[in-house]
Structure 1
Amino acid sequence: MNEGGQPAWNWGRCVWCVELTSANMSLDEEEPSSFEMVLPGLHGKHLGMKWTLRGLGLYSTNYSTNYSTSGAHGFASIVECERERGTSLPMLRSLYSELHAIFVLLQQEVLQDKTRRATLVAFSRNYRSVMKDCMEEIQNVLSSNQNHQGENELANQISQLSALELIWHLCEVLFMESLQMGHLLPMLLDWVRLHSSALDQMAEDVTQSNCPAEHSDYWDVVCGFVLQARMQEARKLLAQSIIPDGECSMYAAMDELLRTMPHYVAGHTFTEFELKWKYWHDECERLLSEGAFPHCQLRLLCKILLGDAKALLGKKHLMPWYHFLVAKLLFNNPTVKIGEVHNYVQPCLDLYGCGREMEPLDQILQVAFDLNYNQVIKDCSLTLSSWWFVSHLADLLHRCPQFQLGSDLREFLLFEYATDLLSHHSLWSLAPAYLDTCGESGRACLELCLVRLPLQSEKKAQKVLRLCRERGMQDQERSICKQMAMKALRSGRLGSALAWSLRAKDSAFATRIADRFLEDYRSYGFLPHLDLIDSLGPSMLVSDRLTFLAKYREFHRLYSENHYKEAAQLLLSLMMARVAPRYFWLNLMTDALPLLTQEKVVFTSQQCYRLLECLQEIVTERNKESAMNEDAQAEDIIIIREAIASNHARTVIQERTEKVL
């Protein structure tokens, strides 16, 4: 806080963080206009640039000064410059989440057509409450910080949030609440009282002293209370004065003036209030003209009550100019209309020496008092380094029927805020709710960004998929499943890869994974992830190879349960239907060996002929292509042929015997 209790905030400069693989750099904020920075790996080179989701990507190019290629080869350096979003503190991330929850509720109210002015005021107060809670949390952290680490950052965040809440509250008063309540001044006084922390701290120091009346700030605090119409507190503090003999009547008269000062009460007419005010004002003038206050401080108090310009100006060190403005209205025009306030703004700024170069906070408050709500939004957009404040404020003001805040401006601000959230590692899930309110452009952005989010875990992937399903984005859902399937395949998690490919309904990828299962079987002699294969169900129809894998697993199950006839029939049907890959046919023939050598005949003579046909196709295919393990395969083929011949002979004998009998 600076003099007068105004939030001391270094406005108007965006902070950029440069992220490199080996080092992180933070840029100095001291220079307001421009700065020069050396980027590791890019210094002295010609740069190319490209806007990315997170910020600005810079990279070195191979172009010389005459725009011809240099022909040099080497490693390219890429640096990504990211604007600081102010989310480094956990409390601020919590703030974003709370704002998101209120925003979602507000959109639901809009859909139900319940956005009455009272409803908007309630939502505005909820927004401010969240900001205050965040300030309190940061203050608690600052108070308990024994190592004094990051104190400047914490204090700066408190100051920024205080200034933002000050602006928001004023917009609530001028653009929403005043039109609902009618009388402006009581709401402006509440606004002043809620943002007078400097006076409250001074009053606490005075009241906790051994003798408040002898404290150096005693009369400043009394005057400060009066300037904010906190008459009961002023009277209570005035009663602690050390009153000399013969001056009791003087203090009693001042106490009576403070007690009887009229305040507008809802339900009363302005005419009735103005009559009471005139009577009270005349009484103040009479007492002052009769010299009822020889005490200099009491006389100054009486002049303040009369709205004397010099008396008010003498206490300007107690308050910023916008508090001075409200005090001037309080004692000079208590029934001021909302459209008349702007007439008092510029004189107050001149008294405080706010010339041509105004601070951004002062400028925003000025245009707010001018009821220029569009300019408030634009100035906040240009001044603040984060979009959260201006986007939520613009959305709320857009709901006010008496204002014509352009929907394009509102959508632009929400769009920028949402894309900013999407680039954050933990706040990305808040962005879809904002993009949903941005029409076709918001949906298009969401479709592009969701599939480009880094999926570090399956939990995050499930979150993204849920967002896609809720919005009917089937193509994006399949794309994400493909990404996760590829990621699982690269890490050797075949079961997970197969599950993701099935969710993506990707026939080619499912075929690729099924081939990996079969390759593992050929290498190690067993099928992995049997529980997953057993639970495929209708999903096996995604690809022919997956269908074969499921049926092949069924063959092994039948064989292990001693259902040899059914196993033999299934094995033969897999070969005859040509669903088995060619490279796996020899394995199927090898699997037929135990069935061919069973004591009890399993294959019929007709099935033996078909086995021989399949074996001959394998031999023909083998002769066309040279194999690395040619000798081993040749030996296997001979063994299989002999087993088929032996089984066929036994089958013929058995069939003829049965025919004779």
Structure 2
Amino acid sequence: MAPSASFSFGAPTASSSTSTPLNNHDRPHQPPLKESRTFITDTYTIWASLQRIVQQNNADQDDVYGPGGAPVPTPDQVQYYGRVSRLYREAIVQQLPLIQSDTDYTPAGKHKALAHFAAMHGVLALAEILFFPSDGVGEGLVAEELLDWVNTIDPAPSNDEGAELLALASPWDSDDFVPYLSRCVLRGHLSSAAALLSLVESQHPDETLQHLAKHLSTLVASYPRSTAFRTESAFVVALRQWRTQTLAPLKPQVDSLLSSSSDDWGSSLAPLVALVSSAASDPSSSSSSSAAESAIAALGPEDWRESLAAHCLWASPTTLRRADLPPLVDALTRTQPVDASLPAERAHAALLRGDVPGVLKALTGAHAWAAAHLGDLLAHLHLPAFDPPALTGAGEDDDALGLREAFLLDWGDRCTADPGLWRVSCEYWAACGTQGREKVRALAVALPLEVEGEGAQQGAGARAGAGAAGAGDGMDVEGEGEGEGEGVGAEKENAAPKKKRASRQVDELLAVLAALDLTDEFTATCEAYAAKLVDKRRFGEAVAYAVRAADGRRIAEIADRILDEYIEKGQDAFIAHVDSIPTSLLRPPSSAPPSPSSPSDLPALSPSAALAPYTARLTFLARYRDFFALYASGAHLEAAQLLVLLLTSGVAPKRFWAVMLLDSVPLLEATPPLLDSDAIYELLRVTEDLLGPPDVFGALDLLARLGGGGGGTDGAAKQMQVVRAALARGLAACACLE
């Protein structure tokens, strides 16, 4: 239920972080943002939280009311939207001291920035009064709230003016005295008005004017205000008593004193007396309303909003409700037109008339942030202005934008003026149907996938990156960490933050693509980024993105490249690269790695059934790394058994057999023997299979490259003879023991 159900809402119009995501020539031109990045991201967080709450609420209502949910929001929901609006306003207020202290602003620029935020604050504050009342219903009196709003957006009269008048020996002689007094009465600063009148009462030389000021001071000071009463009825009773017990007895005396005063100053009080006297009549009568309007006009309010404030206080304090505002504002603006050059003022008038499209149209451009976020809030009230275009006749195209979506899309476009806000743009676009999805898709294609540095990374940082890679559905993905390992070719420490930023940017983009079910773009992004990581020899991260893309060939390539690192740079480089691969991909959490001494089959990691043949390569890397760990820790028996298991289970790639057999030589020559004759016979069988011509898998070629050896294939063959000799001696030792 809209807080003001009788408002006549118009139909919607037709569709009217720090990395650089887009090159200047790829990004559509947008004017510079008037808001800081901090403000935009802070309010984006509020907006995103609101969307999640609304989605959950809609789902709950669908369960209760069926598809489409409840036709109107509940009072609790309206109150919640009001709290969101207040959070927006608090974010605005937090910007003001930052602008004041920012030395980069010129005096004129600072004034303009402060005015910009103040205008948006005022629009949101008025929207809260009219559409998001504190009780969630909005059926009560609204006069004092509007009066307070007017005094907030345009404080008047100023305290400095009052101080200057009080400093004078005879302030009533100043040309500013009566206008200042009148504005105090118009604006509801009644204690200040009473104080000025008391000053005249005690110090003015004219006795007639003293009495006149005394009576006026009594009337003004005793005038009831609704804010002083807990209930509406109590306020109505108090105002009735004021009319009968205070105004009625004093009015004849005031009129008499006014008519008997020969002083021009006394005559100037006549409109003020008329205004106060107008409160004596029945507020529902047309004559009373006409008298009040005439009295207000005679006091010369500065603009239509000040006239509205005076009307709230003196003409209809006990009757003015939200439904009464559209005709009242129309009447006021006929005599005091809205300043068309001020977008915020046009928005104020449209809000008071209930013209929601007019509000957003007035705000867009000058206050685009307010247009998008206020439009989003108002849309959740189920106002007719936000009905789908097909229901309003605005368009038959499924891609036609509703009123809310049009302004969110516009705000997302404007955020592209700051390259660091690309993710924020995506989130706003994502709420805008097909057109928004197309914009996200275009950004995904244009986003340069930057990769900083190269080298292995290991430890919790890289594992966290892959954990995020497996999630793919949240916006809090951090990407890979800096890592701890330092294999051959590791990056300098100061390159780590750049790596993290680059990966975070990609992960954020992937999260957006996943949320929008842009599967093709998601896969293409993963594939492209994995390829760039491979080029930089950041194999652990590359595996994570290859798995997300279901790119089995890339996984196999990475596994081979890591084995090549062992051949070319040694054991330390191999271990560092393996440790940079996320544990969740090397060792599935659902199954713990078997004991090295167990002859059971090795587990094969299967992120998906289609990837199983490729991810088995990752399993081998993990277990071969275990072999080195066991050997280094002195667990030579377990290391030997694991090596035999890897060679005989089919997990180890055949091109790597020769290297592994050479690694087994120290274990074969241990005393007493670590392997039994059955195991040695298995190794002999593997050796013979390997040496049988031709060398289809290139095992000897790979062995020839080990450690930068220059002996070629002949040197590799000689090394295999060393392996054969070690196997023979091991077999002889076993025979002796038997």
Query: Are the counterparts in 2 of residues 321 and 349 from structure 1 also a CA contact under 8 Å?
Result: yes
Please name the residue that 2:196 is paired with: 237
CA distance in 2, matches of 1:521, 1:558: 17
Tell me the CA shift for residue 244 of structure 1: 1.4
Q: 1:167 to 1:286 in 2, by over 3 A?
A: farther
Q: Secondary structure at the match of 2:216?
A: helix
- Pick aligned residue for 2:712 from 633, 642, 648: 633
Please name the residue that 2:268 is paired with: 297
Please name the residue that 2:105 is paired with: 149
Please name the residue that 1:528 is paired with: 573
Whichever residue aligns with residue 613 of structure 1, its letter is: D
In the alignment, does 2:125 pair up with 1:174? no
CA distance in 2, matches of 1:373, 1:403: 9
Tell me the CA shift for residue 109 of structure 1: 6.5
CA distance in 2, matches of 1:84, 1:345: 35
- Pick aligned residue for 2:373 from 388, 392, 396: 392
Please name the residue that 1:492 is paired with: 537
- Pick aligned residue for 1:365 from 339, 348, 355: 348
Please name the residue that 1:219 is paired with: 178
Whichever residue aligns with residue 404 of structure 2, its letter is: R
Please name the residue that 1:18 is paired with: none
Please name the residue that 1:267 is paired with: 232
Q: 1:578 to 1:354 in 2, by over 3 A?
A: closer
Please name the residue that 1:409 is paired with: 403
Q: 1:467 to 1:149 in 2, by over 3 A?
A: closer
CA distance in 2, matches of 1:136, 1:621: 67
CA distance in 1, matches of 2:311, 2:637: 103
Tell me the CA shift for residue 441 of structure 1: 7.6
Structure 2: runs of 5 or more not aligned: 1-19, 62-71, 279-290, 389-401, 451-500, 590-603, 607-614
Whichever residue aligns with residue 396 of structure 1, its letter is: L
Q: Which protein, 1 or 2, shows the higher relative CO under an 8 Å CA cutoff with sep ≥ 6?
A: 2
Tell me the CA shift for residue 197 of structure 1: 1.9
Q: 1:142 to 1:384 in 2, by over 3 A?
A: closer
Matched ranges for 1:172-571 at <5 A: 172-177=128-133, 180-203=138-161, 205-206=163-164, 209=167, 213=171, 217-241=176-200, 242-246=203-207, 247-261=209-223, 263=225, 266-268=231-233, 286=252, 289-292=255-258, 294=261, 295-305=266-276, 306=278, 307=291, 312-313=296-297, 315-316=299-300, 319-328=302-311, 330-334=313-317, 335-336=319-320, 338-352=322-336, 359-381=342-364, 383-386=365-368, 388-400=369-381, 405-406=386-387, 408-417=402-411, 456-458=501-503, 485-498=530-543, 501=546, 506-528=551-573, 530=575, 533=578, 536-538=586-588, 541=605, 543-557=615-629, 559-560=631-632, 571=643
- Pick aligned residue for 2:33 from 85, 88, 91: 85
Query: Are the counterparts in 1 of residues 522 and 549 from structure 2 also a CA contact under 8 Å?
Result: yes
User: What is the TM-score with the length of structure 2 in the denominator?
Assistant: 0.63
Q: 1:634 to 1:255 in 2, by over 3 A?
A: closer
Query: Are the counterparts in 2 of residues 262 and 276 from structure 1 also a CA contact under 8 Å?
Result: no
- Measured against aligned partners, the alpha-carbon deviations of 1:374-427 in whole angstroms (never above 9, x if no partner) come to 43234434x4452x3123322333344676642632344345445655885665
Tell me the CA shift for residue 323 of structure 1: 1.6
CA distance in 2, matches of 1:93, 1:657: 77
Q: 1:150 to 1:457 in 2, by over 3 A?
A: farther
CA distance in 1, matches of 2:506, 2:551: 17
CA distance in 2, matches of 1:622, 1:117: 75
Tell me the CA shift for residue 228 of structure 1: 1.8
CA distance in 2, matches of 1:622, 1:119: 70
Bigger Cα displacement from structure 2, 235-244 vs 487-496: 487-496
CA distance in 2, matches of 1:448, 1:257: 68
CA RMSD of aligned residues (A): 5.0
CA distance in 1, matches of 2:734, 2:83: 92
Tell me the CA shift for residue 313 of structure 1: 4.0
Q: 1:284 to 1:373 in 2, by over 3 A?
A: farther
Q: Secondary structure at the match of 1:319?
A: coil
Whichever residue aligns with residue 182 of structure 2, its letter is: C
CA distance in 2, matches of 1:499, 1:85: 37
Query: Are the counterparts in 1 of residues 147 and 187 from structure 2 also a CA contact under 8 Å?
Result: yes
Q: 1:129 to 1:248 in 2, by over 3 A?
A: farther
CA distance in 2, matches of 1:459, 1:623: 39
CA distance in 1, matches of 2:189, 2:31: 44
- Measured against aligned partners, the alpha-carbon deviations of 1:38-90 in whole angstroms (never above 9, x if no partner) come to xxxxxxxxxxxxxxx97x975xxxxxxxxxxxxxxxxxxx6752333323364
CA distance in 2, matches of 1:645, 1:329: 104
Bigger Cα displacement from structure 2, 280-289 vs 212-221: 280-289
- Measured against aligned partners, the alpha-carbon deviations of 1:293-321 in whole angstroms (never above 9, x if no partner) come to 631332242134345767644544x5322
CA distance in 2, matches of 1:244, 1:372: 54
Q: Secondary structure at the match of 1:292?
A: helix
- Measured against aligned partners, the alpha-carbon deviations of 1:135-180 in whole angstroms (never above 9, x if no partner) come to 4642x345546x5733333321221222223333333333454962
Please name the residue that 1:643 is paired with: 722
Bigger Cα displacement from structure 2, 110-119 vs 221-230: 110-119
Query: Are the counterparts in 1 of residues 347 and 359 from structure 2 also a CA contact under 8 Å?
Result: yes
Q: Secondary structure at the match of 1:82?
A: coil
Equivalent residues, number: 582
Q: How many percent of aligned residue pairs carry the same amino acid?
A: 20
Please name the residue that 1:127 is paired with: 85
Whichever residue aligns with residue 220 of structure 1, its letter is: P
- Pick aligned residue for 2:692 from 616, 621, 625: 616
- Measured against aligned partners, the alpha-carbon deviations of 1:590-636 in whole angstroms (never above 9, x if no partner) come to 43555566677767456435412311245567799999999822332
Bigger Cα displacement from structure 2, 110-119 vs 80-89: 110-119
CA distance in 2, matches of 1:653, 1:394: 87
User: What is the TM-score with the length of structure 1 in the denominator?
Assistant: 0.69
Bigger Cα displacement from structure 2, 551-560 vs 237-246: 551-560
Tell me the CA shift for residue 235 of structure 1: 0.5
Q: Secondary structure at the match of 1:541?
A: coil
Q: 1:423 to 1:458 in 2, by over 3 A?
A: farther
Query: Are the counterparts in 1 of residues 529 and 542 from structure 2 also a CA contact under 8 Å?
Result: yes
Tell me the CA shift for residue 369 of structure 1: 3.1
- Measured against aligned partners, the alpha-carbon deviations of 1:500-524 in whole angstroms (never above 9, x if no partner) come to 5567665333322222221121112
Whichever residue aligns with residue 380 of structure 1, its letter is: L
Q: Secondary structure at the match of 1:227?
A: helix
Query: Are the counterparts in 1 of residues 29 and 417 from structure 2 also a CA contact under 8 Å?
Result: no
Whichever residue aligns with residue 81 of structure 1, its letter is: H
